[in-house]
Structure 1
C-alpha cells in the first residue's frame, strides 16, 4: 500500500469531505452482529467515528502515523498503525470491515486474503468511496481541465479505479445489492482550494515542478465560484459483499 497522504494529514483532516451518515447506517444494516468493526486505511478516522455509534468496539488502522495523529479520539475506537495487507488481528474477529477511499492503493490479492482471514463467516465487507464532484457549470469546466489535463499526468495509475467508480476492481465476494447515495455541501472558496490541496496529484505536481498547480487556475476559479451557488455534489461509491463459503 502506498502512503500518499502523510504530508497532507492536517489538510486532509480539515478539508476532506465527510461521509453521509445515512450511507453508514445502510452499510451497518446488513450486519448480523455489532460487536466489532474494522476500518482499514482510516486516515483521520472519519468512518471509524461514524461506526463507533453502532459497534461496541471499532479498530481503525493506517500506515500513516501522521494521519493517525490527526484522528479524533473516541473511547470505543482503537487506532493502530498497520498495513492493510498484514494485520495482527485474530481469525474471524470482525462483524464488519470497511475501506473508504483507499482500496485502489492496496495489493488486492494480499488484502482480500487478510479480509477472508479476519472477517466472521457471516460478516460484511464494505468498499466506500466518492468520485469527482460536480458544481456550477463554469467551475466544472475549469476543474475538469485541472483534473484531467493540468494534474492529470501526476495521478497514480491506481486512480483509474476511482474514475471507473470502483466497478473494475477485483471483488471476490458474494455481492449485495445496495442503495445509491450522494454527498452535498456548500463550500467557501477556501474550502474548495483546501480540498484540491489534498489531492495526491497536486502533491506530485508540486514535487516535480516546484510550484503549486492550483495557482494556474486560482483567479479564474474564484471568479466562477463566487458567481455560482457554491454547492458541491459528490457521487458516493459503495460495494458490499459477504465471504464466499
Structure 2
C-alpha cells in the first residue's frame, strides 16, 4: 500500500487554528456509543489531533487513550484526569491486547495505512468492542456563502489538498470496512458561528497551510471582503456539515 502523507508536516503549522476553530461533535453521539459498547472502561481515540472528540469520550469512559503522530496537535489538546495522550502511529500502539471497549477515528482514517490499522484494532479490542469511524466534508451555511467556500476549496487551494482528501469527499465509500455493521441513529454536526470563526476554520485547512508554504501568500485574505458581503449583518449563522458514520463490531 502506498505510503500515506505525513500529517506531521500538514497539521503542525496551524495547530492553534485547528484547536480553536474546528467544529465539535454532537454530545449525544458519544453517549449513544457508550451505551452500545460492551463496556465503558477504556476507549481509544485514534488520530485524536487536538482533542475535538477526546473531551466528549472522557465523559463516558473511565479511561481514554488518545493517540496521534503530531506532537504539536497533542500539545493543544485539553488535559483531563482520565485521558492519556500518546504520540504514536495508528498502526502500532502501546495499548495492551484486548483492552479497549471502543475505538474512535474522527476525521482521520484517510491518513492511516488502513489494513495495518485494522490489524491493530483487532489486537487491542476486547470481544464485541466497537470501531466507530466518522468524517465530515463541506459545510453548509447559505447558497451564496457555500459558493464562496466551494471556490476557496476547489479553485484556490484545490491542488494543495493531499491525495488522501478524496476519501473524505466520498464519505470513505472506497475504503473497506470489514466489520459487522451496527445500525446507527442519525446524528448532526452543527454549530453557530460568527464570521471570524468561519474564517478561522479555513485557517485550519491543511491545503491552506500547504498553499502558504508553497507560495508565501495567504489564500483566504483576498476573499475576506467577499465573505463579509455574503455574510451580511447577521452576528451569527447556523453552520452544518454532512456527517458520515461507520460503526462496526469487532469479532
SS class of match (2:232) = helix
Equivalent of 1:239, from 226, 230, 246? Answer: 246
CA distance in 1, matches of 2:81, 2:15: 22
Contact persistence 1:181–1:235 (CA under 8 A): no
Which residue in the other structure is 2:89 paired with? 83
Q: Which residue of 2 aligns with 1:156?
A: 162
User: Is contact 1:61–1:81 with CA below 8 Å preserved after alignment?
Assistant: yes
> Which runs of no fewer than 5 residues in structure 2 stay unpaired?
none
SS at match of 1:86: coil
Equivalences for residues 89-238 of structure 1 within 5 A: 89-227=95-233, 230-238=237-245
TM-score, structure 2 normalization: 0.93
Residue deviations 1:114-144, cap 9 Å, x none?
A: 1111111210001012121101111111111
Deviations 1:84-137 (A, max 9, x none): 111111111100010101011101111111111111121000101212110111
Q: Contact (CA 8 Å) 2:46, 2:104: kept in 1 or not?
A: yes
Deviation at 1:29, TM superposition (A): 2.2
Which residue pairs with 2:23 in the alignment?
A: 17
C-alpha contact (below 8 Å) 1:9/1:70 kept by paired residues: yes
CA contact (8 A) 1:151 1:202 kept: yes
Distance in 1 separating the partners of 2:245 and 2:30: 10
2-side partners of 1:226 and 1:163: how far apart? 29
Aligned to 2:56: 50
1:227 Cα offset (Å): 4.7
RMSD of Structure 2 on Structure 1 (CA) = 1.3
**Are the counterparts in 2 of residues 127 and 240 from structure 1 also a CA contact under 8 Å?**
yes
Residues of 2 paired with 1:225 and 1:134: CA distance? 13
1:47 deviates by 1.4
C-alpha contact (below 8 Å) 1:40/1:61 kept by paired residues: yes
Runs ≥4 residues deviating over 3 A: none
Deviation at 1:171, TM superposition (A): 0.8
8 Å CA contact 1:15, 1:194 repeated in 2: yes
The count of residues paired between Structure 1 and Structure 2 equals 244
Give the superposition deviation at 1:11: 1.0
- Displacement, 1:242? 1.2
TM-score (norm: length of structure 1): 0.95
CA contact (8 A) 1:86 1:114 kept: yes
